[in-house]
Amino acid sequence: MVVRGVFLFCMTLAVVLNAEPLSAAKSFTLKKDEVAKIMIKSEGQERLLTFRWTLYRDQQLVVHESFDRFVGQHVLNTGYTNQSFRKTLLPSKRTIRDIPYALVVFKKFDEASKSAQLDLFIIDKEKRIILDYLTK
């Protein structure tokens, strides 16, 4: 147990030291098939990012997402592995580290209200993106 705690502390420290700046963070509490909609505005374009969940079983959440007419399906857990998915929002201008992306993290599932909490983080080092939340 001590080894696990030391490992988690070291990993957290490494993440904090190498962290990319967050330009936005928002938490969504969604019921089944309720859609989160975010308009991504950048470089004269407006593109819609949506995600929703359809099934929760055995501490796993099935999430469907769509961005710029490309769709995906992810199975997320609340544990240490596979609790998020990443979506590239724009191509890089100089290096691969400059690519803005969205990170959707499955935080918890509330059995009483049958709703899932999903957090959206936008990592945008060069501040190229403006968000318009269409879902409150």
Query: Model's pTM, two decimal places?
Result: 0.79
Q: Which residue has the higher pLDDT, 25 or 24?
A: 25
Is pLDDT at 130 greater than 50 in this prediction? yes
Q: pLDDT tens, 86-112?
A: 999 988 777 778 899 999 999 999 999
What domains does the chain contain, in order, with CATH numbers? 22-133 (2.60.98)
* Average pLDDT taken over every residue of the chain: 84
CB 126 within 8 A of CB 93: yes
Which residue pairs from 86-92 have beta carbons closer than 8 angstroms and sit at least 24 positions apart in sequence?
87/49, 89/40, 89/42, 89/47, 89/49, 89/122, 89/124, 89/129, 90/42, 90/43, 90/128, 90/129
Stretch 44-49: mean pLDDT, rounded? 93
Stretch 38-61: mean pLDDT, rounded? 94
What is the reported pLDDT for 38?
95
What is the reported pLDDT for 70?
92
Is pLDDT at 124 greater than 50 in this prediction? yes
Is pLDDT at 16 greater than 80 in this prediction? no
